[in-house]
Structure 1
Amino acid sequence: MQEIFEAIKEASKQIQDVIELGDTAKSENENSTGDTQLKLDIASDVIIEKVFATVPSIKAIVSEEQEEIVHLNDKGEYLIAYDPLDGSSLVDVNLSVGSIYGIYKNDFTGDNIIASVYVVFGPRVEMVVAYKNSVKLYRLFDGEFNYIKDIKLEEKGKLTATGSTQMCWPEHHKELINSMYKDGYYLRYSGGMVPDLHQILLKGGGLFSYPGTTDKPKGKLRQLFEVFPFALAYEYAGGQAVNGKSRVLEIETTHIHDTSPCFFGSKDEIKRVLEVYKDHV
């Protein structure tokens, strides 16, 4: 496992260089979910695949930017699903973006994820590793990722961040979010999944939500590349992750690009979600 973490560190250094110097224009391609790929997405994807191809323990990989699973080493033990540069459209306006990695064994499903990593590219480059029931923060300086601290959530937080446009929210979700504002929660939403979830983790708690909506009833965020990796991190940090009814890591995956509604947060906020959603899922 350590060689995989080292590979992610190396890929992240190269991606940081691409972000600083690379082309932020759109390409002529679309990814598997119909989003137009930026040249940064493609460049980051190429970097990660090349780095992972050198790691003997990796059996296969699948990228959010590609249609199919890529087989690397028949004798490898691990499967990795990754989003090479989540929120890449934010680079143009100099907001934080990130890479997300889910590390699986046997099959690409929630109950087979054993570790996850995400990297935030912002004013500082930070890496968070969820493995063996701990969540550890590392920061890049002097060319190396240095351990900073373990991350733990409080029982209750103060922040809320919720995705999609409000005109597409179901009424019960609107009621949930409005009730949180009335109870003094602060809105913190950048439009980037990685920095928003990272902020909630580092600030001690709150709620990140991307509900099923009128235009995307099954949610927008991809299970293998985004939802499951962050679910593991939040659970290991002492929080929870649900789809409105069930634990996220127990939901069924039928295709590598399946999506799901998702709610990540402290235990108090997730209890609140389940209460609101119990008659609507």
Structure 2
Amino acid sequence: MTLGQYLGAYEMSETPLAKAVAATIGALADAGQQLASLIALGPLAGAMAAKRHDDRFGDSQKELDFRAHAIVIDHLAAAPVALVGSEEADEAELLNADAPLVVAIDPLDGSSNIDTNASVGTIFSIYPAGGGTAALLQRGTQQLAAGVIIYGPQTGLMLTVGDGTALFTLDPRTGQFSLTQARAAIPPRCREYAVNSSNARHWDDGIRRYVADLVKGAEGPRGTDFNTRWVASMVADAFRILVRGGVYLYPGDARPGYHEGRLRLIYEANPIAFLIEQAGGGATDGVRRILEIEPTSLHQRTPLVFGSAEEVLHLGHYQTNAYAGGEESPLFGTRSLFRA
């Protein structure tokens, strides 16, 4: 089944905005195909990793970020989209004032990996329009669809329209996305975790104790060995978790500018959370369900934890219980009830 056929079946649902959503997903898929061709050229396309400038939030915009934004806007201009909120623009961009949808998008996630031949991606959410720019500040629970186009060894599309998460692969022979997994299913338990451990000294106690217990493996309180699988590209880690499970952590920490995390709630955390939940997983900021957080600004940041549902809940227990875990538990600590 091609993406077009999949969306055709979706259009026949009773959802009032289904036709508009399908057209918008189609436009984003077309933009993804164009971006996939550009990214596949690597350095032959020019200095795509060259820094253009730092934005007002302290993030570097690369040449490929700029090109990706322009490609996405060009394709969405012909779709039923009123507004676009993009990581690459300070303010929302008006496209078609009377259109029924708004799109929140990170045109190119993982731009620090551009020159390393690691996976990067496009992350998007689709919401109903209404209320002007406030439509981009809806809770994640109001998403009509969400997706990630990942540019790696294969170009893949992770997509949900609220009825499970489907995985597609771009067939370079036909130029079409073809369905390769109708319903991704994340196992509730896992033995893999993804986190940048170089920041451990900045973490709060809950995250530090949780990761420390994973590192202890079978000899620790978890009683099992865990593996680290950290790509440093969220879209790549998300794809792996959708395929085989695991848990991903990008917590806030004590560094200046990192207290509220670094990932953007509206166009990074919300779409990832929607995809993960629709595949049976969980997504929180460590404690709160991501999809229930009330956004206050387009570029709002949040910590993000997602993946196998039981593991996400387990981490939340460390965040809310000061005695969770082995090393600092009264029962298992180095100085405990059983050891002087």
Partner of 2:69: 45
* Higher mean C-alpha displacement, 181-190 vs 14-23: 14-23
Deviates more, 1:12-21 or 1:33-42: 12-21
**Matched residue, 1:77:** 100
Where do residues 198-277 of structure 1 align in structure 2 (5 Å cutoff)? Answer: 198-203=239-244, 205-215=245-255, 216-277=258-319
Is the CA contact 2:52–2:63 (under 8 Å) kept in the aligned structure 1? Answer: no
Residue 178 (structure 1) shift? 2.1
* Higher CA-based Rg: 2
Of 177, 190, 197, the match for 2:238: 197
Question: How many Å separate the matches in 2 of 1:25 and 1:206?
Answer: 30
1:124 equivalent to 2:157? Answer no
8 Å CA contact 2:49, 2:111 repeated in 1: no
Return the alpha-carbon distance in structure 1 between the equivalents of residues 179 and 141 of structure 2. 28
Q: Closer, same or farther in 2 for the Cα pair 1:73/1:84, shift >3 Å?
A: same
For 1:276 and 1:64, the matched residues in 2 are separated by: 32
- Which one-letter code corresponds to 2:72 in the other structure? I
Paired residue type of 1:50 = D
Within 2, Cα distance between the matches of 1:87 and 1:39?
13
CA distance in 1, matches of 2:210, 2:160: 29
Moved over 3 A (4+): none
For 2:57, the equivalent position in structure 1 comes to 33
Q: SS at 1:62's partner residue?
A: strand
1:138 pairs with 143, 155, 168, which one?
168
Partner amino acid for 2:118? L
Deviations 1:232-264 (A, max 9, x none): 011100111111221111112111000111110
| 1:228 match: secondary structure | helix
Higher percent of residues as strand? 1
Q: Distance in 1 between matches of 2:114 and 2:57?
A: 20
The percentage of aligned residue pairs carrying the same residue is: 29
Correspondence 1:111 to 2:131: no
Matched letter for residue 184 of structure 2: I
1:172 aligns with 2:206: yes
- Say which of 53, 56, 59 aligns to 2:82: 59
> What amino acid is aligned across from residue 128 of structure 2 in structure 1?
K
Unaligned runs of 5+ in 1: none
Structure 2 CA distance, aligned partners of 1:155 and 1:89? 31
1:8 correspondence with 2:28: yes
Distance 2:163 2:63 in 1: 36
Q: Structure 1 residues 33-42 or 173-182, which shifts more?
A: 173-182
One-letter identity of the residue aligned with 2:167: L
Q: How many residues align?
A: 278
Q: Which segment drifts farther, 242-251 or 103-112?
A: 103-112
Which stretch has the larger CA shift, 31-40 or 252-261?
31-40
Per the alignment, do residues 264 and 156 of structure 1 end up closer, same or farther by CA in structure 2, a change over 3 Å counting? same
The range that moved more, 184-193 or 161-170, is 161-170
Letter in 1 for 2:62: L
Letter in structure 1 aligned against 2:23:
E
TM-score normalised over the length of structure 2: 0.79
8 Å Cα contact 1:32/1:66 also seen in 2: no
CA shift for structure 1 position 111: 3.1
- Cα-to-partner distance string for 1:100-124 (whole Å, 9 max, x where unaligned): 0011124222232221010110110
Q: Which amino acid aligns with 1:101?
A: F
Local SS of the residue matching 1:165 = helix
In the alignment, which of 193, 204, 227 is matched to residue 160 of structure 1? 193
Matches of 1:32 and 1:135, distance apart in 2: 35
8 Å CA contact retained: 1:160, 1:207: yes
Cα separation, 2, equivalents of 1:32 and 1:151: 38
- CA separation in 2, counterparts of 1:90 and 1:2? 31
Give the deviation of 1:165 after TM superposition.
2.2
Question: Is contact 1:124–1:139 with CA below 8 Å preserved after alignment?
Answer: yes
Letter in 2 for 1:190: V
RMSD: 1.5
Distance 1:84 1:194, change over 3 A: same
What one-letter code is carried by the residue in structure 2 that aligns with 1:114? L
Instruction: Provide Cα deviations, 1:40-77, integer angstroms capped at 9, x if missing partner.
Output: 0000010000000011x211101101100011112211
Q: Does 1:96 align with 2:96?
A: no
Name the SS for the 1:76 alignment partner.
Answer: coil
- Which of 165-174 and 243-252 deviates more? 165-174
